[in-house]
Structure 1
Amino acid sequence: MSIVDSIAKRRTYYQLNKNLPVAEQEVIGLVETITELVPDAFNMKSARAVVVTGGQQDALWDAIYDAFDGKVAREKIDGFRAAYGTILYFFDTDVVKGLQEKFPLYAANFPVWAQQANGMLQFSIWSGLRDLNVGANLQHYNPVIDEKVKAMFGLPASWRLVAQMPFGGIVAEPDAKEKEDIAKRVKVIR
């Protein structure tokens, strides 16, 4: 499969279940491999990923619901809870600060570059999951849940939560995408 085919196949799947179509270890191996391969500025390696499955998957989404004191619909959270697992994406602020101190001329750019690398990691894993016939979606309940998540899983204070990616078996395909006029977003200058 070409990279374009892989990207075209990647979609936002909201209807997921715990019936993972591959062994859990395949998903973990994918996350580990892609985390190692995704590039970042100054080779800083600031991205962190936590794969949550089993009973901890349910506990995570129950804690997210509780963090919002009922301000988020239970049905919506239960949709994410129904997934096989969730990948939590972080970057390590200690790594970023270390490079800011080492290269002060670029200090303002390191947090931006860490976010860019994290975005590449999220997208690459998302596309890789779809190649395994695993569905996923991307959520952003941070910063409200940051401290609760770090406490639940014993994560370092320096890890900054960026996104949450529920993944699992695909219950239903999303609607077809409409073709856009790409010339509105891509300009070619010769």
Structure 2
Amino acid sequence: MSKTFIDHIKTRRTQYALGKTLPKSEEEISRLIQDVIKHVPSSFNSQSSRAVILFGKQSDKFWHLTKEILRKIVPADSFASTEAKMDSFAAGAGTVLFFEDQDVVKSLQEKFPLYADNFPVWSEQSGGMAQFAVWTALAEHGIGASLQHYAPLVDEAVQKEWDVPKSWKLRAQMPFGSNEQPFPEKSFMNDNDRFKVFS
């Protein structure tokens, strides 16, 4: 019996123990990520989400750059845990850098001034959906991932290294790869504290 959509959502979990073995080729995974982002909804069909997909040495380079930037601001006596974390992300097969194009946001603000204050919020919502959808799609194929946030510390380095337009605002980073450890049990708060249903 094939899995349902909710089954795939339940499969998506944070994986910190990543490896470099992938069940599909880089080209297939790249196409999967692009297709997912392409079909994620966005307000006014703005399509403001952008992505840079890094594999292998390029992914390693991103986490090395991030580590060296953090080295400058994290106290030396507590840097070991930060370094270990960066190395665990670099141990994966790749990284997706998620962006939101601010030129798109500004253009919509100018075109629809009545909703100007909402467009940055709606852009963030679209970006969040893109991140979740990619994460779930990777999980569907047995690929582990986690979602990280090192912007704006790494923004300048990323723009320079991968020729990213200045209008692209870095929002999240997703290291991915093989699942090298099983997932622990996940606890949930009481449904009555989260939901209200009326009919």
Partners of 1:10 and 1:163 lie apart in 2 by 17
After superposition, residues 6-155 of structure 1 pair within 5 angstroms as 6-69=8-71, 71=74, 73-155=82-164
**Partner AA of 2:40 in structure 1:** V
Structure 1 runs of 4+ aligned residues shifted over 6 Å read: none
Give the distance between the partners of 1:146 and 1:152, measured in 2 at CA. 10
Deviations 1:91-138 (CA, angstroms, capped at 9, x unpaired): 000010000000000001001001000000000010000011000000
Structure 2: gaps of 5 or more residues? none
2: CA distance between counterparts of 1:140 and 1:165?
A: 9
Aligned equivalent of 2:184, options 169, 172, 175? 175
Q: Which amino acid aligns with 1:66?
A: E
1:166 is paired with a residue of what secondary structure? Answer: strand
Find 1:2's aligned residue among 1, 4, 16. Answer: 4
Distance, in Å, in 2 between the alignment partners of 1:14 and 1:23 is 22
Which runs of 5 or more structure 1 residues have no equivalent in the other structure? none
SS of equivalent residue, structure 2 residue 71: coil
SS of 1:97 mapped into structure 2: helix
For residue 2 of structure 1, report the CA deviation from its aligned partner: 1.2
Q: Displacement of 1:179 after TM fit?
A: 3.9
Offset of residue 68 of structure 1? 1.3
- 1:47, CA displacement in angstroms? 0.2
Query: What's the C-alpha RMSD, in Å, of the aligned pairs?
Result: 1.0
Amino acid at match of 1:47: S
Secondary structure in 2 matching 1:162 = strand
1:136-188 CA distance string (max 9 Å, x none):
00000111111111111000000000000000011002211124311211111
Q: Indicate the percent of aligned positions where both proteins have the same amino acid.
A: 44
How does the TM-score come out when normalised to structure 1?
0.97
Amino acid corresponding to residue 110 of structure 2 in structure 1: E
**How far, CA to CA, are the matches of 1:160 and 1:138 in structure 2?**
16
Paired position in structure 1 for 2:197: 188
Residues in 2 aligned to 1:78 and 1:127: alpha-carbon distance in whole angstroms: 24
Number of residue pairs aligned between Structure 1 and Structure 2: 190
